[in-house]
């Protein structure tokens, strides 16, 4: 099944509360949205052009308090209607998870495979780093922002933390399991 292009809807959502420049939209992807959605800088501008052509956003270029010319994008009535309609729709299937690490694990047949420990350690370090980052984001964001007025954002961040906690625990357990197997093999070899 073809994957839906959700970028226009994400951009409409980001513009729903205030007008923004392309740079500000990219910053939103680098900080908040990047925790669960990635996009290339060039894709943002292509989509902004399409949304402008569709009449779902307006682009206003000018000098806004500085000597640098900027283009601000703001959502239109049509954009708000499209975003609202999408927000009220439901998915009838789960998203496909494409994970290269999991794919590599699938093809390892033996727990004594020398690549297994390194694969697991590498992922453990990456996920632990991500977990620490997410916990810090929670402190940073919700020490200044009321979570009840940004509850969706809070839920997403909390979900990401729980996901990384579970993932790092699974990796840690897996590393311990193969370590036990390695120790057992060493003892059998010595005996």
- What's the pLDDT at 182? 54
- What's the pLDDT at 75? 97
Tokens representing 30 are: 């680098």
pLDDT tens-digit series, residues 99-150: 889 889 989 988 888 899 999 999 999 999 999 999 998 998 888 777 888 8
- What's the pLDDT at 186? 47
pLDDT tens-digit series, residues 54-97: 999 999 998 877 778 899 999 999 999 999 999 999 887 777 77
Helices (H), 4-96: 7-15, 22-31, 41-53, 77-87
The number of residues making up the chain comes to 191
> What is the spatial distance between Cα 13 and Cα 16, in angstroms, rounded to a whole number?
5
- What's the pLDDT at 180? 66
pLDDT tens-digit series, residues 85-95: 999 998 877 77
């Amino acid at each position: 099944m073809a994957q839906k292009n959700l970028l226009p809807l994400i951009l409409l959502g980001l513009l729903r509360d205030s007008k923004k420049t392309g740079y500000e939209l990219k910053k939103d992807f680098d900080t908040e949205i990047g925790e669960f959605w990635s996009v290339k800088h060039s894709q943002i501008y292509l989509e902004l052009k399409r949304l402008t052509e569709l009449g779902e956003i307006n682009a206003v270029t000018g000098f806004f308090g500085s000597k640098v010319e900027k283009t601000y994008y703001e959502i239109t009535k049509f954009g708000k209607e499209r975003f609202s309609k999408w927000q009220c729709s439901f998915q009838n299937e789960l998203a496909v998870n494409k994970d290269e690490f999991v794919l590599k694990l699938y093809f390892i047949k033996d727990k004594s495979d020398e690549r297994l420990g390194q694969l697991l350690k590498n992922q453990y370090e990456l996920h632990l780093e991500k977990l620490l980052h997410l916990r810090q984001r929670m402190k940073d964001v919700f020490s200044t922002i009321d979570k009840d007025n940004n509850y969706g954002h809070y839920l997403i961040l909390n979900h990401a933390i729980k996901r990384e906690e579970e993932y790092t625990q699974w990796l840690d357990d897996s590393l311990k399991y193969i370590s036990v197997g390695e120790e057992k093999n060493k003892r059998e070899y010595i005996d």
